[in-house]
């Protein structure tokens, strides 16, 4: 059996995450994102690779969306409403609640402000979201008889999950985007130790290793503080959900502590509305926030106000959170156009900016002018600050997670090719796990686990339930437990395999047991030296010395070790007496028999006894 992992998006790049995994005949689509840096047909994953005929319902068992970012959910309305997928879609509760906001906001930005052709409508979004089934963390969902999925906390943004999927004995985890460290409002990713055939991990920061976040937080606060203290305006372009709340918590807190009266604005009602959701979904935030929540809801920001368009040219300092992030379009870009020429002002860019956006241009190098989409140029004289804390895990986090889960294979997606290849080498060499970095449209096939199932007899399980350690110290002490070796796997054509205890095999085969045993009447001592009871004691002491771990039962004139039975032989002519037929008068014999199973043990004892002669 094999697991096929077809990468439709985010292969060796960041954007339009979409991976289709086939496990034992079940096909799951993880994420269905849109590329923010593309304007052409490339913005969507190439769905035709999933089904040429376009019959997606039979081609895909279910879709699972890990979080509400556009590069993970952006293509969903298109796929369900335009391509016509009608099967089940799973998301966490926050993702289900917040995705429509994000989609609608994005649609508006694209259509109203950039004047693009509409890719999906508001109705599309609404109809699409109706098909979504909300899931809670750790809840085990039986999608159909064979397919089981489960979500784990991923940090990253509110409601972000990693997804575990299992079909038969084969299991995989798709991480989506995740964060291995706790931030101000979200916890760190948390997952059980699972047995996995494949781990599909994001690798945004495949080579970066970050230290403590506190110096970087301080840097950001100081940059903003310096700007407003100098009478400048600070623009923080961010998406309505996620970084906006994180940075706002940070600023709100700092404003309180430093007693700063400069206003903090949110550009759209969206963020205010989003805070409403955050308040309800408090159970998805960090432990710290959850504890504080009883007394004060941390998403009730004290210093935050709504922004009005007229305030763009208002005098005096301010801080503005404007959507969308990455300065890719919309209001944030408009404000940027007005504020960028002043050297007093500051643009703080949180998170990652996709290639092709203005944000990306600002981050890579120090441009003095920037081309906007419609051809206008803007002089950039303001300060640019890159907020260096990100809700993505760093390379160490990826390695830690991979090591913790110890999957049989790793596939890296959602990263930049050069650094992904470095991480791939690291995973292969340090963890000894095969690792793949497929490009878009490529398929990776790995073997999957299957178990052979057999019914076990009670006798076998019983004999296995009590430890049966054997100690041997030939060169060094070894402890072995041979319990399972008493079991025999029996396969009969066209029947389920059975496991029985070795004593029951003949019954299963409808045969009679045939015992193969050994017997030997062994000379042990010259007659007349001491009496017989002492002799047995003497012998057992000697046997104990040479045969390690022997459990000897002695009685008046016999001794027993395992299946080995020795009795003082009083017969003159025992049939078991071999090769020493002559001296029977003068010698004491021990008549021994033992089973074939204790063959070696028997000979060891015999040789001890022969030495006694």
User: Which positions from 513 through 572 interact with another protein, judged by CB under 8 A?
Assistant: 513-520, 522
Residue 202 catalytic?
Answer: yes
Residues 55, 56, 59, 62, CA torsion sign = negative
* Minimum separation from the CB atom of position 368 to another protein (A): 43
Task: Check whether the bond before 83 is cis (ω within 30° of 0).
Answer: no
| Using rule CB under 8 A, residue 282 touches another protein | yes
Closer to another protein by CB, 489 or 533: give it: 489
* Minimum separation from the CB atom of position 608 to another protein (A): 14
Contacts of another protein in 169-228 (CB under 8 A): 169
Pairing between β-strand 318-322 and β-strand 377-379 as defined by DSSP bridges = unpaired
Cα–Cα dist 467/478, whole Å: 15
Task: Tell me how crowded residue 366 is: count the other CB atoms within 10 A of its CB.
Answer: 8
The two three-digit tokens of residue 181, written as one number: 């460290």
Closer to another protein by CB, 272 or 544: give it: 272
Closer to another protein by CB, 92 or 345: give it: 92
| Using rule CB under 8 A, residue 301 touches another protein | no
Cα–Cα dist 319/316, whole Å: 10
Q: Which residues, listed in sequence order, are joined to residue 445 by a DSSP beta bridge?
A: 4
Task: Tell me how crowded residue 396 is: count the other CB atoms within 10 A of its CB.
Answer: 14
* Minimum separation from the CB atom of position 273 to another protein (A): 6
Which one of 13, 81, 202, 246 is the catalytic residue?
202
Contacts of another protein in 259-278 (CB under 8 A): 273, 276-277
Query: 57, 481, 532, 534: which one contacts another protein (CB under 8 A)?
Result: 481
Residues near another protein (CB under 8 A), total: 82
Contacts of another protein in 90-119 (CB under 8 A): 93, 96-97, 100
Q: Which helix (H) or strand (E) covers residue 591, if one does?
A: strand 587-595
| Using rule CB under 8 A, residue 300 touches another protein | no
Closer to another protein by CB, 514 or 573: give it: 514
The two three-digit tokens of residue 313, written as one number: 């040219």
x/- contact string, 434-473, with another protein (CB under 8 A)? ---------------xxxxxxxxxx--x--x-------x-
Sheet holding 435-436, edge to edge: 147-153, 161-167, 170-174, 198-203, 410-415, 435-436
Query: 293, 337, 396, 426: which one contacts another protein (CB under 8 A)?
Result: 293
DSSP 262-283: --EEESSHHHHHHHHHHHHTGG
Contacts of another protein in 591-610 (CB under 8 A): 593, 596-597, 599-600, 603, 606
| Using rule CB under 8 A, residue 478 touches another protein | yes
Closer to another protein by CB, 175 or 457: give it: 457
172 within 8 A of 358, measured Cβ to Cβ: no
**Which DSSP symbol is given to 530?**
S
Query: 141, 311, 422, 558: which one contacts another protein (CB under 8 A)?
Result: 141
Contacts of another protein in 312-331 (CB under 8 A): none
Cα–Cα dist 81/96, whole Å: 17
Contacts of another protein in 491-510 (CB under 8 A): 491-493, 498-499, 502-503, 505-506, 509
The two three-digit tokens of residue 24, written as one number: 């034992």
User: Residue 537, Cα to own-chain centre: how many angstroms?
Assistant: 62
| Using rule CB under 8 A, residue 244 touches another protein | no
| Using rule CB under 8 A, residue 490 touches another protein | yes
Reduced to 3 states, what is the DSSP secondary structure of residue 167? strand
By annotation, the residues acting in catalysis are 202
């Amino acid at each position: 059996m094999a697991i096929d992992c077809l990468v439709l998006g985010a292969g060796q790049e960041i954007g339009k995450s979409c991976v289709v995994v086939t496990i034992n005949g079940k096909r799951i689509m993880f994420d269905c994102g849109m590329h923010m840096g593309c304007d052409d047909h490339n913005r969507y994953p190439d769905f035709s690779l999933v089904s040429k005929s376009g019959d997606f319902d039979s081609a895909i068992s279910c879709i699972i969306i890990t979080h509400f970012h556009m590069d993970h959910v952006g293509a969903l309305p298109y796929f369900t409403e335009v391509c016509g997928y009608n099967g089940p879609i799973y998301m966490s509760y926050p993702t289900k609640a917040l995705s429509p906001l994000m989609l609608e906001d994005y649609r508006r930005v694209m259509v109203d402000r950039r004047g693009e052709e509409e890719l999906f409508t508001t109705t599309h979004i609404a109809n699409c979201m109706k098909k979504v089934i909300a899931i809670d963390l750790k809840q085990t969902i039986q999608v159909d008889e064979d397919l089981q999925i489960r979500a784990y906390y991923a940090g990253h943004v509110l409601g972000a999950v990693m997804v575990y999927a299992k079909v038969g004995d084969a299991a995989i985890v798709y991480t989506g985007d995740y964060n291995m460290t706790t931030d101000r409002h979200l916890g760190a990713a948390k997952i059980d130790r699972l047995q996995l055939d494949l781990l599909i991990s994001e690798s945004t920061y495949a080579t970066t290793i970050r230290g403590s976040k506190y110096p970087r937080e301080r840097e950001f606060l100081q940059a903003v503080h310096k700007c407003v203290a100098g009478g400048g305006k600070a623009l923080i372009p961010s998406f309505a959900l996620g970084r906006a709340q994180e940075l706002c918590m940070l600023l709100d807190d700092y404003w309180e502590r430093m007693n700063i009266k400069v206003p903090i604005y949110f550009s759209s009602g969206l963020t205010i509305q989003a805070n409403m959701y955050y308040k309800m979904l408090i159970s998805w935030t960090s432990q710290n926030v959850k504890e504080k929540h009883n007394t004060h809801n941390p998403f009730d920001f004290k210093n935050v106000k709504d922004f009005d368009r007229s305030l763009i040219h208002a005098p005096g300092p301010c801080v503005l959170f404007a959507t969308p992030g990455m300065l890719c379009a919309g209001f944030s870009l408009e404000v940027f156009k007005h504020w960028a020429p002043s050297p007093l002002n500051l643009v703080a860019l949180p998170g990652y900016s996709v290639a092709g956006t203005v944000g990306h241009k600002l981050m890579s190098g120090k441009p003095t002018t920037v081309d906007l989409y419609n051809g206008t140029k803007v002089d950039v004289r303001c300060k640019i600050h890159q907020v260096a804390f990100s809700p993505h895990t760093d390379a160490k986090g990826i390695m830690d997670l991979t090591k913790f889960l110890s999957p049989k294979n790793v596939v890296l997606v959602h990263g930049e090719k050069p650094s992904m290849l470095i991480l791939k080498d690291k995973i292969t060499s340090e963890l000894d796990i095969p690792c793949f970095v497929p490009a878009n449209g490529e398929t990776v096939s790995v073997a999957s686990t299957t178990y052979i199932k057999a019914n076990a007899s009670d006798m076998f399980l019983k004999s296995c339930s009590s430890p049966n350690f054997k100690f041997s110290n030939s060169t060094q002490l070894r402890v072995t437990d041979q319990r399972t070796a008493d079991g025999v796997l029996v396969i009969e054509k066209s029947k389920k395999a059975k496991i029985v205890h070795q004593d029951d095999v003949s019954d299963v085969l409808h045969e009679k047991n045939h015992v193969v045993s050994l017997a030997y009447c062994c000379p042990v001592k010259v007659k007349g030296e001491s009496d017989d009871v002492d002799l047995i004691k003497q012998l057992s002491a000697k046997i104990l010395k040479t045969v390690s771990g022997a459990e000897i039962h002695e009685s008046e004139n016999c001794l027993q070790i395992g299946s080995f039975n020795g009795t003082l032989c009083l017969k003159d002519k025992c049939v078991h007496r071999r090769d020493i037929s002559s001296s029977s008068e003068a010698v004491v014999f021990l008549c021994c028999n033992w089973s074939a199973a204790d063959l070696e043990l028997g000979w060891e004892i015999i040789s001890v006894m022969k030495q006694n002669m």
